[in-house]
Amino acid sequence: MKKIEVLIADDHQMVAEGIKTLVEFDGEMEVKYIAPHGRELLRLLNFTEPDIVLMDIDMPVMNGLEAMQQIHKNFPETKVIILSMHEEKGLVKKMTDAGAKGFLFKNSEKEELIWAIKTVLNGRTYFTSKLTLNLINQSTSGNISDGPDKIIATLTEREIEILKWIADGLSNKEIGEKLFISHRTVDTHRTNLMKKLEVNNIAGLIRYALKNGFVN
pLDDT of residue 126: 83
Q: Identify the H or E element spanning 154.
A: none
What 3-state class would DSSP assign to 180? coil
Tell me the domains of the chain and their CATH numbers: 4-127 (3.40.50.2300), 131-211 (1.10.10.10)
pLDDT at site 149: 52
- For the chain, residues with pLDDT lower than 50 are 133, 135-148
- To the nearest 10 degrees (0 to 180), the angle between helices 202-211 and 183-197 is 60
Q: How far is CA 182 from the centre of its chain?
A: 23
pLDDT on residue 108: 79
* pLDDT at residue 87, as a whole number: 62
Residues in the chain: 216
Average pLDDT value for the chain: 82
Is residue 85 within 8 Å of residue 106, measured between CB atoms?
A: yes
Residue 102: which of 65, 139, 135, 55 has the closest Cα?
Answer: 55
Phi, psi of 99 (to 5 degrees): 120, 0
pLDDT digits (tens, 9 = 90+) for 154-206: 777 788 888 888 888 888 888 888 888 888 898 888 888 888 888 888 888 88
What pLDDT, on the 0 to 100 scale, is given for residue 37? 93
Considering the entire predicted model, what is its pTM? 0.64
Contact 125, 216 (CB under 8 A): yes
% of the chain at pLDDT higher than 90: 24
pLDDT at 165: 86
